[in-house]
Structure 1
Amino acid sequence: MQQAPHYDDVLREVILYLAEKIDRLHQMGAKDIITDPGFGFGKTLEHNYELMNHLEDFHQLDCPLLVGISRKSMIYKLLGGTPQTALNGTTVLHTISLMKGAHMLRVHDVKEAVEAKRMYLKMTQPSD
């Protein structure tokens, strides 16, 4: 990971970086591409929350969106805990990610993530 990462505009720079990589992959013939904002990789706590706050902006890349935030430092540092105590924060951010259009979640706690997704789907699907 980077030491003291710097971005002038983290959201714009990450989206541009991914757009360039997607374009290159298309030129090489790739069809099935999944995007991942890279939470935690070379980013400060503030960078990570800026990306999370604007997660829906990644839909402009026209690729399925993967969010990998399970038990990341962006959760446990904010809450003053450890990776082992970050389940509640993880579940909240998983739910927010789904609300903002994430297609996939990379998780450690499968049962809890499935339950969060079931609750999200129940609350967002039209009732009979």
Structure 2
Amino acid sequence: MVFERTIKVAFQHCDPAGIVFYPRYYEMINQVTEEWFEQSLGASFVDIHINQGDAVPTAKIETEFKKPSKLGDTLLFALQVTKLGRSSVHLEFTVTCEDELRLTSRSVIVYVKGEDKKPVSWPQTIRKQLEFFLKEEGPS
């Protein structure tokens, strides 16, 4: 299953030339991730980070920028789980604008617990939902 969200490129995302400044993509990726957790996994970042004192930090991120995006573009972010570990999840983002590929990004986020922020197993309720988004591999 794929989680999709659109984000319209605003002035705040752009450099003086009207092109998305690349760190702003990471803010958008985080926004999509937060919305996915709340809307599809039933676990808001407010509950995880504030109420429970746990966290889901990014341990790794790798991005290929294919084509620039400009002020006013509407970007479609598609998020999919490519691997689910005990405490980690590998995510793949594909970002397009009118079917034109703008970037791909792969990240690993980890569930960590309490003040010491040590990795722990995903809570069962979240893990069940993560499994729905696990990308199925095609035939070998």
TM-score normalised by structure 1 residue count:
0.29
Higher strand share: 2
Q: Which has the higher contact order (CA 8 A, sep 6+)?
A: 2
